[in-house]
Amino acid sequence: MTTAPTPRTLPVPDLSLVVLVGATGSGKSTFARKHFRPTEVLSSDFCRGLVADDENDQSASKDAFDVLHHIAGKRLAAGRLTVVDATNVQSEARRQLVRLAREHDVLPVAIVLDVPEQVCAARNALRPDRAGLPRHVVQRHRRELRRSLRGLEREGFRKVHVLRDVAEIDAVEIVRERRFNDLRHLTGPFDIIGDVHGCSSELESLLTRLGYVDGVHPEGRTAVFVGDLVDRGPDSPGVLRRVMGMVKAGHALCVPGNHENKLGRHLAGRKVQLTHGLAETVEQLAREDEAFAAEVRAFIDGLVSHYLLDGGKLVVCHAGLPEKYHGRTSGRVRSHALYGDTTGETDEFGLPVRYPWAEEYRGKAAVVYGHTPVPTTSWINNTLCLDTGCVFGGRMTALRWPERELVDVPAERVWYEPVKPLGAAAPGGHQGRPLDLSDVHGRRVVETRHLGAVAVREENAAAALEVMSRFAVDPRLVPYLPPTMAPTAASKEDGWLEHPAEAFAQYRADGVAQVVCEEKHMGSRAVVLLCKDAGAARERFGVADGPTGSLYTRTGRAFFDDPAVTEEVLDRIRAAVTGAGLWDELETDWLLLDGELLPWSLKSTGLLRHQYAAVGAASRAVFPRALAALEAAEARGVDTGGLLARQRDRAADAAAFTEAYRRYCWTTEGLDGVRFAPFQLLAVAGRSLAAVPHDRQLAWLDRLVEADERAGTGLLRRTGRILVDTTDADSVRAGTDWWLELTGAGGEGMVVKPLGAYVRGGGRGLVQPGVKVRGREYLRIVYGPEYTRPQHLERLRERHLGHKRSLALREYALGLEALDRLADGEPLWRVHEAVFAVLALESEPVDPRL
């Protein structure tokens, strides 16, 4: 043995496919165990065992490698470093692994254990399962390995580490290197600057507006350039000098654009066409000294295709990047980052048609990029194009991060005539394009801020898809669906199934003292999205052709088939909002209202006729005859065993049932007789109001109703309410009396809500946002005419509220999530995801009478 070699470090990118290469017995498994986590290592022997119950069954190799490649693929797709522990002495085996690495845009790394034959043989001899291994196997492995050594780089391995003997192997240390594009540890704040194209003067103005003084921000902000610094404009060298200086000094980052790439190739002496403004740059650079050109060349060579910043929340690149490429390293990642994706078609100007990758983008990180000049910047699915065509006479735009503020300066003049007019839509289209099925389909988990992950099952999503597709109004106009609400626990009082006592007690137990009892209107739940005008609807919700909002049911269906009627309702509510001065007070040009549309018979005629009225009709037809028959039989002396009395009671119950539903029916003529009772103002521009206490909510709504009364449309209806302190017996009594009076006069009942609207209990998560307490007569509609009979009541009290309560909370959290996402200006698919989930959950099995 020779002297101990100096310890050697092997750099390995932290996301890579590490391929161990060595003959059997060369110590690969031991090496892997020593340097990598057990779950990072995939061994072919182990996979052979998985598929064939024998780690040495060579006939199972093909299947074993299928399994190995499959698992490796899953790991790489998930962004996890993976080590392949197999001999890999044959080029075909390595070729497959290199291809796998490329498929997942990670770097393949080879570590070769070049161990003498006798060492391998000796080690194999010590293993009972390999003791009989013929000598020629190791020899063949060694031969193949030797043959391979020189070609490994050519095969595509980006790093090749060859370890020549046992001592060297024992002495090495693996060092995981951060990828060049991984700057997640940098948190900025950043000022991301769009395409410059040699517009040096505008760049200086923009930097000044952003607060930079000679390339340095006094508050330590970092500028990030999205590339295309050069070409077309008047002073590419000036721009390069500024940016290179800032980058060198650590005040800026820069990713390459396609124009830098081409310039770099030109500077490297490659033959490129001097088109698209390169000629201007070359000419301008010719006036600089050679040292500057060399500096530019080195600068361009050193640019990294894209950066992950701010903990991974921000990705900056030149032409946009789908999520699966974030933080990845491959030729195609670089190509996409620099050039974007194209459809293969060309447009009428002869330019390649760009693939709308942003439209499909569903990633968590914001992607900020440039490349395609757009008239105005706008967020699309959490992506933003900053190229506002300064060189073509547009503007130069920057994004402040994390503030998400846009700062821009106008072009001083048209520096370069565009090939095609700057009128085209942003790449990725506008919000009017449809959502993608993968946003909603199948089993899904929706992350909510208030209740964590909420799961949606496949069959429920399937039902929701059908309703959303066939019946709902345009998803852009359905930014919210109301959650279901649990009833109060069953009452123990004689003759009552529901009573306020339990509701008050429940909130008392939850630590909620102040509650508001709101009159429950018996109609149909209705959500109103109201914009100040068609312009606001177009601007905020992206709908063209006139709708100024929407009026929809709890499954997202339009209340009125005729859009003109919807608009008329919206007009009246809009007038009330204007009359109440809420547009200005709430600084908004749209709002979202939750309420009840009356009468019940307006929308639910089918149900009323087939289910409710039919019961009454049948009763009225049957009972007189049945009672007459029983009376006649008794008159004949037949003992009916109390049947007559029971039937009389039933007849009375049936009459009470009919009266119960009739209270909620009245005839309407056009909009005459139609009422809308708003009970919550859910959201306005940029804000969710779901957590605003109910007394403030009701004060706003009262002003709406008053304004509507002044206008005399008769549309809006006030919601009666009383505040109750659940810890004060007198207050509870007053609340109970109020409810008795309300339901005694035919009211449906009330909803008890924590006054604070959004309440979290002591460590127990969300408190129910509301509990309904329905009136005794009303419940006949739900539980049948005769439910008040003691024997029925007793059985009905055994109702299980657990699932309903859980459902109510999950839907509530999803509703809040939709409102929060809407307020944050998140992309349509994110809002729709939460809304869709509410609809899906509504199809979960739960007793519909609760």
The neighbour count for residue 753, using CB atoms within 10 Å, is 28
Residues in contact with other proteins, shown as a per-residue x/- string from 390 to 409 under the rule CB under 8 A: --------------------
Residues 299-318 binding other proteins (CB under 8 A) are none
> Of residues 785, 809, 812, 815, which one binds other proteins by CB under 8 A?
785
Residues counted in the chain: 850
Residues 493-532 binding other proteins (CB under 8 A) are 524
Nearer to other proteins, 229 or 654 (CB): 654
Rounded CA gap, 209 and 202, in Å? 10
Residues 417-436 binding other proteins (CB under 8 A) are 432-436
CB of 801 to other proteins, least distance (A): 7
CB of 209 to other proteins, least distance (A): 39
> Of residues 541, 600, 700, 778, which one binds other proteins by CB under 8 A?
600
Nearer to other proteins, 622 or 722 (CB): 622
Q: Judge contact between 420 and 349, C-beta under 8 A.
A: yes
Q: Angle at which helices 91-103 and 61-77 pack, to 10 degrees?
A: 30
> Of residues 165, 439, 589, 709, which one binds other proteins by CB under 8 A?
439
| CA gyration radius, the chain | 36
Query: What distances in angstroms separate CA 545 from CA 104, 533, 537, 707, 727, one per listed residue?
Result: 44, 12, 10, 29, 54
CB of 769 to other proteins, least distance (A): 17
Q: Which two tokens stand for residue 394?
A: 């547009």
Which conformational region is residue 125 in: left (phi greater than 0), alpha (psi within -120 to 50 degrees), or beta?
A: alpha
Helix ranges (H only) for 449-593 are 458-470, 500-509, 534-541, 563-579, 582-585
The helix (run of H) or strand (run of E) holding residue 516 is strand 514-520
Rounded CA gap, 836 and 105, in Å? 34
Q: Which two tokens stand for residue 756?
A: 């604070």
Residues 792-811 binding other proteins (CB under 8 A) are 792, 795-796, 798-804
Residues 606-665 binding other proteins (CB under 8 A) are 606-626, 628-633, 636, 638-641, 643, 646-647, 654, 657-658, 662, 665
CB of 481 to other proteins, least distance (A): 9
Residues 827-846 binding other proteins (CB under 8 A) are 839, 842-846
Residue type, 190: F
Residues in contact with other proteins, shown as a per-residue x/- string from 206 to 245 under the rule CB under 8 A: ----------------------------------------
User: Which of 124, 508, 107 lies closest to 328 in space, CA to CA?
Assistant: 107
Give the pairing type, strands 687-688 and 675-684.
antiparallel
Q: Is 462 in the site for other proteins (CB under 8 A)?
A: yes
> Of residues 667, 669, 670, 764, which one binds other proteins by CB under 8 A?
667
Q: Is 703 in the site for other proteins (CB under 8 A)?
A: no
Q: Is 455 in the site for other proteins (CB under 8 A)?
A: no
Give the pairing type, strands 395-401 and 190-193.
antiparallel
Nearer to other proteins, 534 or 782 (CB): 782
User: Which of 549, 557, 546, 552 lies closest to 573 in space, CA to CA?
Assistant: 549
Q: Is 265 in the site for other proteins (CB under 8 A)?
A: no
Site residue total, other proteins (CB under 8 A) = 107
Residues 525-564 binding other proteins (CB under 8 A) are 545, 553-555, 557
Q: On the CB side of 190, how many CA atoms lie within 13 Å of its CA?
A: 29
Nearer to other proteins, 222 or 553 (CB): 553
CB of 613 to other proteins, least distance (A): 4
CB of 664 to other proteins, least distance (A): 11
* Contacting range for other proteins; rule: CB under 8 A; set: 79-87, 88-96, 133-141, 780-788: 780-788
637 forms beta bridges with none
Helix ranges (H only) for 665-801 are 694-711, 729-744, 778-783, 790-796
Rounded CA gap, 741 and 775, in Å? 10
CB of 678 to other proteins, least distance (A): 19
Q: Is 143 in the site for other proteins (CB under 8 A)?
A: no
Catalogue the long-range contacts made by 344-349 (C-beta closer than 8 Å, 24 or more residues apart). Answer: 347/420, 349/419, 349/420
711-743 b/e (C-beta count within 10 Å ≥ 16 → b): eebebbbbbebbebbbeeeebbebbbebbeebb
- Written in H, E and C, the secondary structure of 438-476 is HHCCCCEEEEECCCEEEEECHHHHHHHHHHHHHCECCHH
CB of 270 to other proteins, least distance (A): 33
Nearer to other proteins, 58 or 343 (CB): 343
Residue type, 609: R
Nearer to other proteins, 658 or 697 (CB): 658
Q: Which two tokens stand for residue 304?
A: 């990294």
Q: Is 59 in the site for other proteins (CB under 8 A)?
A: no
CB of 443 to other proteins, least distance (A): 13
CB of 327 to other proteins, least distance (A): 23
CB of 421 to other proteins, least distance (A): 18
> Of residues 123, 158, 400, 441, which one binds other proteins by CB under 8 A?
441
The neighbour count for residue 818, using CB atoms within 10 Å, is 31
Nearer to other proteins, 315 or 497 (CB): 497
- Written in H, E and C, the secondary structure of 89-105 is CCHHHHHHHHHHHHHCC
Residues in contact with other proteins, shown as a per-residue x/- string from 347 to 366 under the rule CB under 8 A: -------------x------
Nearer to other proteins, 274 or 622 (CB): 622
Rounded CA gap, 463 and 22, in Å? 55
User: Which of 381, 401, 473, 450 lies closest to 831 in space, CA to CA?
Assistant: 381
Nearer to other proteins, 390 or 543 (CB): 543
Residues in contact with other proteins, shown as a per-residue x/- string from 467 to 496 under the rule CB under 8 A: xxxxx-xx---------x------------
Rounded CA gap, 402 and 314, in Å? 9
Rounded CA gap, 521 and 193, in Å? 54
Q: Is 571 in the site for other proteins (CB under 8 A)?
A: no
CB of 436 to other proteins, least distance (A): 5
Nearer to other proteins, 23 or 839 (CB): 839
Q: Which two tokens stand for residue 485?
A: 């609400």
